[in-house]
Structure 1
Amino acid sequence: MRNDVLEQISHSMKSFTKTQKKVASYIILNAMEAAFSTIGQIANSVETSTTTIVRFCIHLGFSGYADFQRNLQNELKNRTAPSTKLEINLRSDGKDDFIKEIVTQQMENCDTTFNNLNNELVFKTGKLLQKAHRIYIFGLRTSYSIASFLYFNLNRIFNNCELINPADGSFFERITRITSSDVLITISMPRYVTDVVKVAKLAKTRGSTIVAITDDYTSPLSDYSDILFKAECKSSDFHNSVFSAMLIAEILIGICTKQNTQMVMDNLTDTETILRDFDVHVKK
């Protein structure tokens, strides 16, 4: 079930009965309360029966009220401001061991991401990066850390990568150089950054291959991507987790290393010589 519950309710409004429309209106206007109210509390607020609430949820395609409420909570977490996301997580937190909850959430993110991973797409992406004239990588805000990590390591392999950074003063010059022989890797999570989507759109019009790392197939990046890797980004507090997106970055770096072993060895040997000359690392 997709996490666009409120939009689904709005689109289904014409098919509802009179009572169901009252339920729908209440939930749309009081989404936060509905996400954490019992079925009885909602029934009392709308002045209807719990059976009507259950039928309403089933009409929308959910298995019942618990399934509906879980999806509504996830939507509010993924689509709202960090302060609202924190409020939701604090309200839903009934566990004493918060550290264990954080670790469990990240492990679940990792498991879900891995289970959704298509091995053929991973190998295909590796080949596309190998053949690319230039590899552009773009992510902002939380996703900038992933973009920077991916850029640093892919550039050590291919020596033809560019990290797009609006702060370096050459943002527009960089994106105007994107061509059909290039690959653009875009990274963005809810609430998606407009500039990342705009650059993906621009690159698409120029015939570039677009690889997206994002949270869902409903992401605006999916409209322009040739390959999309879905990374779970749920967290136990206010932010989008980067754990799973970093896992995908690690996998792409690993597969590119495996597919280009000699190139990597040659580049690393050259780099090591320079690092020694500049006395970069601490000597034991």
Structure 2
Amino acid sequence: MKDNLDLKTYKQLAEQLKPFTESETNLHNYIVTHFEELTYYGIIDLAQKAKISKATIGRYLNKLGFTGYAAFKRALKKDPGLNTIVSPIDASKASKSKATTLPIDTKDEVQRYVGNVSKLIEQFSHELNVRELERLAALIADKNKTIYVVGPASSRALAIHFSTLLKYSRAEVVLLPLDRGELPKALLGVKQQDVLVAFSYYRFNPVVIDITRFFNSKQAHVTVITNTQSNPYGKYSNMQYVLPSDVDSIFHSRTIGFLFIELLLFLVQKQTEGDDNFEELEGLFKFFGTFSSIDF
């Protein structure tokens, strides 16, 4: 049994067990695809997601050399490549420790940063699953569904931006509060047909985890937009978008998060064109004098 299990080591162990049964093939494929999320899974979660029995998981892990699922998870947690989320304060300390007394060339630093953001855009474009995004746009455009949106901390800005602009294309859009006293009232009447879009960058908020778990219990659709493969949302989500964010800075960039939102809104708007809220909203803005006139 391996005390420290990374993906490469797992694949080496699994290779020795081939040929797999059909159930083992399903389990193996799921483990490989979701390896970085598995530290957040219980055995029931894994069985449900891989669509196999707990007994099959137990037998398979025994063949790999583990005494059970608990031993398998302990080995996963010892992999230094998993769950290594660096907080801003730690990133700041690391940056200071690398600092030199040489003067900073601001122009070079700006160009380096912008270049790093450009690389994120290229990576996003290359990795994007367009068909999956098209399916998500169709779900969100379906006016028989209520769309719930949530985002904690800095991800709140992403959630507000998305929910605000989505209302131009459709009604029944709910931006969920994170106050545990107010949240239950906002969740009254959630149905299986509804959709939750959860934004969560960097560190994970326990309220958002509970919200995704609640929607999963209702068998509603859950899409998570995050920036790390290793996260606690995977076992509750139907779709997950892991967006690139590392720009060699103390703070991870949300640029791709906003690009993702605006691309998704663009696709939703295409599907709701001719049946949107632009005229009605404009009338409401004029009625309430929401925006200043350009005529003074």
TM-score of the pair, normalised by structure 2? 0.65
* Root-mean-square deviation (Å): 2.8
Secondary structure of the residue that 2:224 maps to in structure 1?
Answer: strand
In structure 1, what is the equivalent of residue 56 of structure 2? none
In structure 2, what is the equivalent of residue 116 of structure 1? 127
Cα shift readout 1:121-174 (whole Å, capped 9, x = no counterpart): 111001111225200001100100000000001122111100011249521222
Q: In the aligned structure 2, how far is the partner of 1:155 from the partner of 1:120?
A: 24
Do structure 1's residue 79 and structure 2's residue 85 form an aligned pair? yes
Counterpart code for 2:256:
S
Cα shift readout 1:44-101 (whole Å, capped 9, x = no counterpart): xxxxxxxxxxxxxxxxxxxxxxxxxxxx8x979x602111122334556787422222
In structure 1, what is the equivalent of residue 155 of structure 2? 143
In structure 2, what is the equivalent of residue 19 of structure 1? none
Structure 1 residues 156, 169: closer, same or farther in 2, change over 3 A?
Answer: farther
Counterpart code for 1:195:
V
Residue 266 of structure 2, aligned match among 226, 234, 254:
254
Shift of residue 233 of structure 1?
1.8
Q: In the aligned structure 1, how far is the partner of 2:5 from the partner of 2:88?
A: 21
Residue 94 of structure 2, aligned match among 85, 88, 98:
88
Equivalences for 1:174-189 in 2 at 5 Å? Answer: 174-189=186-201
In structure 2, what is the equivalent of residue 221 of structure 1? 233
Equivalences for 1:26-65 in 2 at 5 Å? Answer: none
Q: In the aligned structure 1, how far is the partner of 2:212 from the partner of 2:156?
A: 15
Shift of residue 224 of structure 1?
1.5
Shift of residue 213 of structure 1?
0.5
Structure 1 residues 92, 110: closer, same or farther in 2, change over 3 A?
Answer: farther
Residue 103 of structure 1, aligned match among 114, 121, 125:
114
| Structure 1: 4+ residue segments shifted above 6 A | none
Q: Is contact 1:175–1:199 with CA below 8 Å preserved after alignment? A: no
TM-score of the pair, normalised by structure 1? 0.68
Shift of residue 279 of structure 1?
2.7
Q: Is contact 2:147–2:172 with CA below 8 Å preserved after alignment? A: yes
Q: Is contact 2:196–2:221 with CA below 8 Å preserved after alignment? A: yes
Higher fraction of helix: 1
Shift of residue 273 of structure 1?
1.7
In structure 2, what is the equivalent of residue 203 of structure 1? 215
Q: In the aligned structure 1, how far is the partner of 2:267 from the partner of 2:180?
A: 30
Q: In the aligned structure 1, how far is the partner of 2:209 from the partner of 2:119?
A: 28
Shift of residue 235 of structure 1?
3.6
Q: Is contact 2:202–2:228 with CA below 8 Å preserved after alignment? A: no
Q: In the aligned structure 2, how far is the partner of 1:88 from the partner of 1:8?
A: 26
Structure 1 residues 219, 93: closer, same or farther in 2, change over 3 A?
Answer: farther
Q: Is contact 1:214–1:221 with CA below 8 Å preserved after alignment? A: no
Q: In the aligned structure 1, how far is the partner of 2:293 from the partner of 2:126?
A: 42
- Ranges in structure 1 where 5+ consecutive residues have no aligned partner: 1-5, 16-71
Equivalences for 1:18-33 in 2 at 5 Å? Answer: none
Q: Is contact 1:116–1:230 with CA below 8 Å preserved after alignment? A: no
In structure 2, what is the equivalent of residue 194 of structure 1? 206
- Ranges in structure 2 where 5+ consecutive residues have no aligned partner: 14-79
Deviates more, 1:250-259 or 1:222-231: 222-231
Q: Is contact 2:82–2:230 with CA below 8 Å preserved after alignment? A: no
Q: In the aligned structure 1, how far is the partner of 2:256 from the partner of 2:218?
A: 30
Q: In the aligned structure 2, how far is the partner of 1:174 from the partner of 1:280?
A: 26
Identical counterparts, % of pairs: 16
Secondary structure of the residue that 1:241 maps to in structure 2?
Answer: coil
Counterpart code for 2:224:
A
In structure 2, what is the equivalent of residue 164 of structure 1? 176
